[in-house]
């Protein structure tokens, strides 16, 4: 039996497009290591895939694990880790796309290295506290107005209101820059470690942000265990956290060494030069190198 599970989140409300793009990239790029594909099917009524989703998977070996549409990506990830007895898990979110051959073997090789706890395809030093505190009223209104959904708009507006009355201060929950964290769009860890990680309730998007990059978040917990958190690029080169900025991966240069893309890396690619420079600065501070 293989020791490695590849877990990809499939959310019904996202439609067929993200799954089409993931499957196309999965078929196009050899993983380079034996594994089992598990599709986390989120929010599908009756525990059945829609017909168009099922057709995409024809002839592709996989398991299906149905979960309710709650707890964002993190809750289902850790539900899968509890459910299945694989030694290692690689998690990819709904919008993830593979960009290079041997990608899974690259991640696994470094995940198995002594002293390593967490490996990711994209990492950042961005501080949520630095990015959100001190914003002007116009900036805050723009942040609310550009939310991609009504629920996210409500959550952003709610955080603004709570912040205005002193009940929500990001600096309490997020470290200052450099806030080292592995992004959860694509990461790998041992099951033994995942079962040690404390996962809080995740009722709001802010809860998910706190788990990804907060003071008590995933990377913070792994580092507190005395383990390394590595960024792995398309060439299979791994970087320790103090060297993450050297990789031309997440929001650096033209992202030419990016291993796994997602909607955030796509946004950087599409951005005009001034906006791209700002995104790079937020992620890497004085080490920013926008393309």
- pLDDT, one tens digit per residue, over 135-183 is 444 454 554 455 444 444 554 555 545 455 454 567 788 999 999 999 9
Nearest to 185 by CA among 82, 269, 259: 259
Are 236 and 121 contacting, i.e. CB atoms less than 8 angstroms apart? no
Q: What is residue 229's three-state secondary structure?
A: strand
Q: Cα separation of 98 and 143, whole Å?
A: 30
Longest Cα–Cα distance in the chain: 56
Phi, psi torsion values for 223, nearest 5 degrees: -65, -35
pLDDT in tens, the chain (291 residues): 799 999 999 999 999 999 999 999 999 999 999 999 999 999 999 889 989 999 999 999 999 999 999 879 999 999 999 999 999 999 999 999 999 999 999 999 999 999 999 999 999 999 987 654 444 444 545 544 554 444 445 545 555 454 554 545 677 889 999 999 999 999 999 999 999 999 999 888 888 999 999 999 999 999 999 999 999 999 999 999 999 999 999 999 999 999 999 999 999 999 999 999 999 999 999 999 997
State the DSSP code for 236: S
Identify the pLDDT of residue 276. 95
Phi, psi torsion values for 7, nearest 5 degrees: -115, 115
Q: How far is CA 50 from CA 53, 73, 77, 169, in A?
A: 5, 20, 21, 42
Nearest to 9 by CA among 121, 97, 120, 93: 93
Q: What share of the chain is helix, strand, coil (3-state, %, to 5)?
A: 45, 20, 40
55 burial type by CB count under 10 A (0-12 exposed, 13-18 middle, 19+ buried)? exposed
For 105, the enclosing helix (H) or strand (E) is: helix 103-111
């Amino acid at each position: 039996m293989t020791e490695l599970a590849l877990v990809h989140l499939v959310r019904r409300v996202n439609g067929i497009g993200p799954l089409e793009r993931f499957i196309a990239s999965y078929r196009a790029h050899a993983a380079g290591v034996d594994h089992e594909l598990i599709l986390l099917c989120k929010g599908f009524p009756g525990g059945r895939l829609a017909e168009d989703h099922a057709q995409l998977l024809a002839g592709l070996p996989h398991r299906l694990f149905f979960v309710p549409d709650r707890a964002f990506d993190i809750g289902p990830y850790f539900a899968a880790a509890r459910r299945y007895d694989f030694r290692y898990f690689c998690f990819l979110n709904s919008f993830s796309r593979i960009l290079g051959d041997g990608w899974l073997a690259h991640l696994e090789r470094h995940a198995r290295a002594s002293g390593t706890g967490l490996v990711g395809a994209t990492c950042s030093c961005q501080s949520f506290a630095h990015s959100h505190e001190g914003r002007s009223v116009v900036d805050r209104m723009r942040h609310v107005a550009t939310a991609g959904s009504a629920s996210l708009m409500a959550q952003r507006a709610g955080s603004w209101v709570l912040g205005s009355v002193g009940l929500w201060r990001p600096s309490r929950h997020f470290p200052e820059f450099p806030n080292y964290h592995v992004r959860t769009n694509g990461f790998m860890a041992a099951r033994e470690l995942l079962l040690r990680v404390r996962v809080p309730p995740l009722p709001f998007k802010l809860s998910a942000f706190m788990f990804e990059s907060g003071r008590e978040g995933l990377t913070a917990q792994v580092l507190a265990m005395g383990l390394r958190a590595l960024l792995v690029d398309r060439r299979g080169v791994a970087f320790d956290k103090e060297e993450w900025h050297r990789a031309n991966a997440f929001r650096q240069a033209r992202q030419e060494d990016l291993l796994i893309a997602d909607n955030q890396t796509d946004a950087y690619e599409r951005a005009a030069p001034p906006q791209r420079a700002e995104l790079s600065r937020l992620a890497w501070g004085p080490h920013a190198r926008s393309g």
